[in-house]
Amino acid sequence: MKTLLIGKIDAHALQLLESKTELQQISNEEFIATASFQDIQAVVLRTYTTLTSQELDKLPNLKYVVSCSVGLNNLDMQELKSRNIELIFCPGTNANSVAEHTLYLMLSLLREDVKMPFAELKGKTIGIIGLGYIGKLVAQKLLGFDVKVIAFDVIEQDQETLEKLNVTMKEFSEVFSASDIVTIHVPLNKHTQNLVNKTSFETMKQGSFFINTSRAEVINEEDLNNYVLSRKCRGIALDVCSKELKEKLDEGHVIITDHIAAQGEDSFKNMCKSPVEEFLKRI
């Protein structure tokens, strides 16, 4: 099968593609500049490559899109469906890396606050918005810290799993009002854009902490900046934010890690290898 790889992926996944397909590898810039790929039947890509109707017109014989990322915002899902193009991706492949990074941010916020004595996780209430792959792993990793974990998700959760994770489901606003630390783990879509806003921050407890390792657009950044400037906020940690917000956040206890939560070597290998292996099973 003639396969087009756009950009770079993990060496193990690359080796699999080279051994099982007729592979052509190009950069994202080369893909944008090229008018047509007539013979390509499969495309392997990551989130920085966009596939809308305009790009798909370049690929008239495309049968498979293999995404070596978790987010799918770069893909026109309706267009793929209408053209009968099969999408192969493996959600959750970066979940452990993001969950571990979330705990790192929690502990860093509590231990690096120079304005107040160091705090401990023990005895705190942790609020998780979004109890999917990552949210559940965060809860699991918190089991040994002697904390109370509450969560909100629009999807009904299995009671046995909640008991195993020692998580209590609450309403969205209650998670913010009852938590010492709120951490966000939702995908970006039309329902979650600006999900966390002024109302959410006004509800939060005095001396609370806020963490976002999902997508920047899930948060209303103007409202977040006002929360940071308020006396209510004790600290925030962001793995994702706009350049404009980053320039504003020059006051208060702020940790920014520039979108590295899912980029560890183990996570990157898993994000690339898993969908490639699944693709090769189907051809």
Spacing of C-alpha 76 from chain mean position = 18
For residue 117, name the pLDDT band (cuts at 50, 70, 90): low
269-283 pLDDT, tens per residue? Answer: 989 999 999 999 999
Distance of CA 278 to the CA centre of its chain: 21
Quickly list H helices, 188-264: 198-203, 221-229, 243-248
> Among the ranges 92-96, 159-163, 225-229, 269-273, which has the highest mean pLDDT value?
159-163
> Taking a C-beta distance cutoff of 8 angstroms, is the pair 40, 61 a contact?
yes
- Domain locations in the chain as residue ranges: 2-93+265-282, 95-256
280 Cβ contact partners less than 8 Å away, ≥ 6 residues apart: 16, 17, 20, 21
Mean pLDDT over 5-33 rounds to 96
CA dihedral 266, 270, 272, 275 (to 10 degrees): 180
Q: Which CATH architecture has domain 95-256?
A: 3-Layer(aba) Sandwich (3.40)
Pair 151, 158: CB distance under 8 Å? no
Q: Distance between CA atoms of 142 and 119, rounded to whole angstroms? A: 16
Residue 168 has pLDDT above 70, yes or no: yes
Give residue for tokens 């904390």.
147
In this chain, the answer to whether the domains covering 2-93+265-282 and 95-256 adopt an identical fold is: yes
**CA nearest neighbour of 94 among 259, 242, 254:** 259
Residues 6+ apart with CB under 8 A from 158: none
CATH number of 2-93+265-282: 3.40.50.720
For 179-219, how does the pLDDT look when each residue is reduced to its tens digit (9 = 90+)? Answer: 999 999 998 888 999 999 999 999 999 999 999 999 999 99
Is pLDDT at 2 greater than 80 in this prediction? yes
